[in-house]
Structure 1
């Protein structure tokens, strides 16, 4: 190795022998614990070659074959007095080709950085008028215990806490009433400088909603629906337009304008895309006559065929796994006294979705083992699709799951479309 950091070749070869490697490893570990100070000792057990080399370096006999305590100060002095003229830390770095790290100092530095993060949080809370809020101590304790900030690092944690507290100050200290409702993007722009600052995946949003749960005495949010409900409680409007449920022949019985509009669309044979925004506008209006049977499917092709054939029975389509709007719609209609029945794909993801929908209060619709077996018997070579993925439980019919596993074949909704349409007439 040449240059200002080099050792004379003969000395480097002398020190770099594998017979001294255990000692250098122990010395590195001690230095990194010692804040790079050559103090204390290391205990090493060297073979004869290693003992001879170390004896030559220290100028005294070191016996082989037994654990010996070697003073780091003696090693440092011997190296500085050698032809290399370098101290212990420099020699270790040259021999290993990597720096010796001050791990103890780094730990202290990190602790100091985190202490500053928590200090600035206290200042932010005071500026937002929240310092004496009774929920603050529990919120901070939950943040410390969760590790959500530690994983992100001090810089990201500092920004997230600053944005979260500023947002909370606006929301918790603001005036109430319909005029005080804020759009999430507008709030994020005001606080963070970007409309996406409080998006679902941001640390700032997670920290803010944890605080909101403490402030409003609600459970910590675990699902997208939980988070949306918390934003709503804070009078913040999230995205209520992109998620939809397709609706066919839904006829609310009320006399309000929205109910009349839905009946008019049904009379015209139009499909309606129901959104969270529309359900909010509908408010407490009954979505269907009490006791009416509402069919629910997974695949839009089923609803499309129902519209094409002018089926008179109401049908909803979730287009796969139910989003927030689908979950809310099903719960609301079940609560209002409608009977919802669900059909989906006979594959593992499909029956997992079915279990979730039925867990919301729906009943199975042609989703039993006998329905599956009858469909399998009609399959031709062009429609045979092997079951893949992890098996799912079928609590509405415990026999269905084992039968599907035994057959090993998937049956999708499109294949049983004639059966479903016949049941919608």
Structure 2
């Protein structure tokens, strides 16, 4: 137990080494250079007492500073800039004349105003953390299925270390959770075929943006792919993800149309078409083939991508705003309604998504909110999100079509996403009308 006197308020010395010691004559301005050098040595070695072995000191230029330590280091005068090896046992014995338990490290700690050995202790802590993470990564890799598209290897760890990815992992606030989630992404990579990145991200993390560019998770997964030799570090991210069977919003841009096209546009029913603003401004729309025909308006390209897989016999009619709808896009939806189409609209359960739905309902008074009530929101909440983004409740608009939705979203404080309701969304599209 440290019993240091009040002159060691931060317990810089261990074992009460400074108790009763006379430090004033040692901690002079002229002698400070010696203690600073010993403190630096103690930090590197992790030995805070500095009572054994030898160390090398470099004499300062000032004669008064060299003379100040002459009695501690022996009778031979130091020359300016001289490097001399000193025996710490002998220095300790001379210091004991100033205190029964005094050590070179204790005096150096008082001169530096802190406990010594911090650098070595931090290195030891970092090594222990690195070892734990390396072991966890190996265990998670062993648990991947036999047909995994990418399995991290022990050899690849060294490549991650060389490229700085291990250092970034150590700086992450939750590195173990990051490794677990990265392993889940690797487990979900398709052994053959392809998958949309937003759907992959949502399934693995509860957030369709969890693998967006710039996230630590995306960086780690792509670094594992490069370390495994499947990609290269200089490869464009879109190309690297494509090598892993992952598609990046390849349908994005403008108003994305599937199965509902302007007059004079002759494309196959399953041909996704991006309609730029110039086209939308000039387009006229055909009347529906019969009464009560629905056009489904959604926010996320992943819904459009999933709808492509519905049976060819299903008459899919889907418009995707790919984010915030512009005034031109809102006018397009309004003109579809004026042509006789029924409009069902939905978006993510966040401030922007609610605002999107409100904008469509204002532009198209006959439009119907689609799977956008409080129960739908609760069902959409991911049970175990990875670093879930907080809902911006201050910006959350009112939900006039279901006031309870606004109350529940504020109470939960978490966003939810269209991908969570994908099965129900596709079922509605398959049957040609939104769920009541």
Structure 2 length as normaliser, TM-score? 0.48
Give the structure with the higher percent helix: 1
Ranked by relative contact order (alpha carbons within 8 Å, sequence separation 6 or more), the top structure is 2
Structure 1 length as normaliser, TM-score? 0.49
